[in-house]
Amino acid sequence: MKETDRKPTVHIYENGANQALLSEICAGLEEEGIPWAISKAESTDAKTLAFDAANHSRLRVGIGITCKTAALQIKNCPIEKPIFLIKPDSDTLDFNIRKLGTNAARAVKGGVFV
């Protein structure tokens, strides 16, 4: 078991994500005061990455990011139906990606999604 599997964190599994995407998601989590851990993963499907991340997180919330898609998932939800699934582009990078991190944190706290 990896050290990050033991700590209560939102897991972020990524494959090909750029640093700007990761920074914005982490900023959304940080604004809400929720810790995270980023790991490189094998899958190239954001839904699968998010599903696996949620099922390994003690907080039961995971994010999957590829070069084209980002997904937010809660443990035990169907893999084909992530809570949020976005395809970031230059217009949505700051706003929607940060909201994905914020919503992951709010899922942990039982808050209202933005």
Q: How many other β-carbons are positioned within 10 Å of the β-carbon of residue 83?
A: 18
77: its two tokens: 């939800």
Q: Per residue in 10-59, pLDDT tens?
A: 999 999 998 888 999 999 999 999 999 999 999 999 999 999 999 999 99
* pLDDT value for 96: 80
Question: Which pTM was predicted?
Answer: 0.90
Task: Walk me through the domains of the chain, giving residue ranges and CATH numbers.
Answer: 3-106 (3.40.50.10150)
* Mean pLDDT of the 70-85 span: 93
Which tokens belong to 20? 């700007």
**Structure confidence at residue 67 as a pLDDT band (50, 70, 90):** confident
Three-class secondary structure assignment of the chain = CCHHHHCCCEEEEEECCCHHHHHHHHHHHHHCCCCEEEEECCCCCHHHHHHHHHHHCCCCEEEEEECCCEEEEECCCCCCCCCEEECCCCCCHHHHHHHHHHHHHHHHHCCCCC
